[in-house]
A and B are shown apart, each in its own frame.
Chain A
C-alpha cells in the first residue's frame, strides 16, 4: 500500500512590480506620511551605507558589511513591528537599528572597533550585532517563548541570511518555534550569496552551493508552520507580509518564516572581492530591480515624490549621518572597560589583571 501523506505549497507575494505598478488588492493602507517614512528610512540606510564604505576605505572604521540593495527587507520588516516587539539581527540590518532609535554614532563606534557602540539605548529592544550567523535564530525564538510564558502581547522578529538556513541553530530554532508555537517571525534575507557560495545549485550532481531546496521558505513546512516567499526588493510586500505575521504571532497563532528575495549589490564585506566569483551581467540585471528606485516610481505615481522632495530627503539623511560620523570620531574607548563588563563584579583574576594593566 502506498499513499500521499503530505502535500505542500509556498506562496509568493509581490505588491509593487519592477516598474512601480501596484497590485491594488494587496496594497496596504498606509498614510502618505507612512509611505514617505518607509522611503526616508531606506534612503537613510543607503546614506549610512555609502558613508560607512568611504570611512572603511579611508581606514577610519574596520571591516564593514554593506546593506546595499537589501534596504527594503530591513526597512519593510522593521516598520511592521511595534516598539515593544524585540528584533534579532545578524550584522547587515543597519536600518533596523536606526529605526529603533539607535544613533548613527553607535553603529559607527561598533564598526569602528569599540564595544561601546553596542551599549544600545534603553528600550531600543534590539539585540547587538550577532556575527556567528544563524545562532540568533535561537535567541529570537527563546525570547518569544519567554514572552509567551509571561503572557505578553509582544513578538520577536529575527533576521537571518540565506546561508544561515544551512546552520544547525537555524533549524533547531525553527523546530523549537514550531513545537512551542512561539510568537516569532523569522525573516530570511535571501541575497543569493554567502560570500562566494551561491544560494542555488547549478550542477545536477554536485554541490558548490548553499542548498538544493527549491525555496528557503519551504523549510518552515518541515517544522509545522507556514513559510512565505516575498519580493524582497518590494518594501510594501515585505511590510505587508511581515505585519500580518507579527499580528498573528501576537495573537497566539505561532511563528512564520518569510523568505525575502533580494540581491547583494555590494561585496560580502569590505574584505571581499566579488569580481572573483560573480557574473557582472547578473549583477547588472539586479541593479535594475533595486528597491529605492522601485519605491520612488510608486511614490511618484501617488504624487508623493518629486526631485525637490528627493533633494530634501537626501539633505536630511546626509545631515544625520554626518553628525553621527563627527560624534563617533571623537569616541575613545576606556581600556579598563575590557575588564569591567565580563562579570557584574570583578573576579579575583580580573582584578589582578586590571591592576596590572593600570600600573
Chain B
C-alpha cells in the first residue's frame, strides 16, 4: 500500500478508473499537458491520450455544458473546474440541465457526470479561490454532493462518484490537499455515497463536520478530552444523500450537537442538520444545537482569513457552551 495525500488520491482514482472504463473522459482547464494547477490530473494525458484527457478553452459553463452533451451520449465525463469561485458561471448548466435531465425525461435520458473542484479557504489565495458553495448544490434536486476529508475516502468516494448513475459534485478540500498522508490501497475500491463516518466515539456531545473542517473538529475533540469531555466526531462525507441515521443516532446518544463548516452561517448545511435534529430529537437534547461556521460575509482577503475560518478555539468555546447549558 502506498502512502498518498488527498490530491494524489484524486489522481490515483482517476488513473485506476480510466484504465478500467474507456468511457471516462477527463476535461477542464489545464488538466492535460500541465496536469492541473494542483497536479490532480498529472500524467493522465500521457497515459490515456489527448482524446480522453482534454484541455478545454477557458469557459466553465462550456466545460459543464459540453460534459452534459457527452454524458447523454454514453460517455462518463469527469470535469474539473479550477477553483470553487469559478463554478458560478456553470451553475445554469448544472442547475437547469445536469440536475434535471433524468426527471425531465422521466428516466429516458440520464446525465451521469462528475464535477470536481478544489474548495475552501486557508491557503492564502486570491479572491474567488476560497469559497465553500456546497449549500447551493445540496439545495438543487438531482445533484449529489460529496466532500472527502482524507486520502482513503477521497479515492474510494471519487471512484464511487464516477460509477454513480447521477451527476455528482465532488468538492476537494484544497487546504488539506497535501496535509495528510495515509495508506491508500492500490487498485479500485469504493466508499459508499450516503454513509457518514464516525471518526471518534464519545458520549458527551457530537461534533458534525466535513471537508477541511473535520481536522479542526478533531483537534477540538482532543482538547476537550484533556478536560474530560468525550466528543463523538462525525465526518458527514456525503451531504446529499445525507446519512441521517448515523447523525441522529449519535445525537440521540450524546444529547448535544455542534456543527462545524466553513461556508457562511445562514442557510449553510449546518442549518439543515440543526433543523433535522430538533424535528426528530427535541426531547433528547440537553442543550441547543450550535453552529460554528464562516460568517455571513464574503470570504475575506487572506490577511483576515484566519479570523473568518472556524478553528479549534472557536469550536472549544462552543463545546464549553453546550456542556454548561
Residues of A within 8 A of B (CB): 86, 115-116, 118-120, 122, 127-128, 130, 132, 135, 137-147, 149-150, 156, 168-169, 172-173, 175-176, 179, 337-338, 341-344, 347-349
Return A186 CB to nearest CB of chain B, in Å.
13
Say whether, besides A127-B72, A143-B73, A145-B70, A138 and B65 are in contact (CB < 8 Å).
yes
Return B277 CB to nearest CB of chain A, in Å.
15
Q: Is the CB of B105 within 8 A of A172?
A: no
Contact residues in A for B166 (Cβ distance below 8 Å): 343-344
Return the chain A residue nearest B64 by Cβ: A138
Chain B's interface size range is 35 or more
Say whether, besides A147-B73, A149-B51, A142 and B106 are in contact (CB < 8 Å).
no
Q: Which of A119, A176, A348 contacts B108 (CB 8 A)?
A: A119
Return A50 CB to nearest CB of chain B, in Å.
27
Contact residues in B for A142 (Cβ distance below 8 Å): 65-70, 73
Say whether, besides A169-B62, A173-B62, A120 and B68 are in contact (CB < 8 Å).
no
Return the chain B residue nearest A86 by Cβ: B73
B320 in the interface (beta carbon within 8 A): no
Q: Which of A139, A337, A343, A347 contacts B68 (CB 8 A)?
A: A139
Q: Is the CB of B194 within 8 A of A347?
A: yes
**7 CB < 8 A contacts A-B:** A128-B104, A138-B64, A141-B66, A143-B69, A145-B66, A150-B74, A168-B89
Q: Is the CB of B105 within 8 A of A118?
A: yes
Contact residues in B for A179 (Cβ distance below 8 Å): 57
Contact residues in A for B107 (Cβ distance below 8 Å): 119, 341
Contact residues in B for A147 (Cβ distance below 8 Å): 73
Q: Is the CB of B70 within 8 A of A341?
A: no
Most buried by B among A139, A173, A349: A139
| Stretch binding the partner chain, chosen from B120-128, B153-161, B204-212, B240-248 | B240-248
Q: Is the CB of B73 within 8 A of A172?
A: no
B230 in the interface (beta carbon within 8 A): no
B225 in the interface (beta carbon within 8 A): no
Q: Is the CB of B242 within 8 A of A146?
A: no
Q: Is the CB of A349 within 8 A of B69?
A: no
Q: Is the CB of B70 within 8 A of A344?
A: no
Give 1 or 0 for each of B233-273: 1 = CB within 8 Å of chain A CB.
Answer: 00000001111110000000000000000000000000000
B307 in the interface (beta carbon within 8 A): no
Cα of A185 to Cα of B104 in the assembled complex, Å:
25
| Stretch binding the partner chain, chosen from B1-9, B34-42, B90-98, B129-137 | B90-98
Q: Is the CB of B66 within 8 A of A138?
A: yes
Q: Which of B65, B67, B240 contacts A169 (CB 8 A)?
A: B65
Give 1 or 0 for each of B68-83: 1 = CB within 8 Å of chain A CB.
Answer: 1110111100000000
Contact residues in A for B278 (Cβ distance below 8 Å): none
The 8 closest A-B pairs by CB, nearest first: A142-B69, A138-B65, A142-B66, A172-B62, A146-B73, A347-B241, A119-B106, A143-B69
Say whether, besides A342-B141, A347-B194, A138 and B69 are in contact (CB < 8 Å).
yes
Contact residues in A for B245 (Cβ distance below 8 Å): 348
Q: Is the CB of A176 within 8 A of B106?
A: no
Q: Is the CB of A342 within 8 A of B102?
A: yes
Contact residues in B for A173 (Cβ distance below 8 Å): 62, 65-66
B310 in the interface (beta carbon within 8 A): no
B56 in the interface (beta carbon within 8 A): yes
Q: Is the CB of A176 within 8 A of B59?
A: yes
Contact residues in B for A116 (Cβ distance below 8 Å): 106
Q: Which of A118, A139, A146, A342 contacts B142 (CB 8 A)?
A: A342
Contact residues in A for B62 (Cβ distance below 8 Å): 138, 169, 172-173, 175-176
Cα of A156 to Cα of B70 in the assembled complex, Å:
12
B203 in the interface (beta carbon within 8 A): no
Return the chain A residue nearest B138 by Cβ: A349
- Not counting A343-B142, A344-B102, A349-B240, a sample of 6 additional A-B residue pairs whose C-beta atoms are within 8 angstroms of each other reads A143-B73, A149-B25, A149-B70, A156-B69, A168-B61, A349-B241
Q: Is the CB of B105 within 8 A of A343?
A: no
Return the chain A residue nearest B97 by Cβ: A135
Cα of A146 to Cα of B70 in the assembled complex, Å:
5
B103 in the interface (beta carbon within 8 A): yes
Contact residues in B for A343 (Cβ distance below 8 Å): 102, 142, 144, 165-166
Contact residues in A for B105 (Cβ distance below 8 Å): 115, 118-120, 128
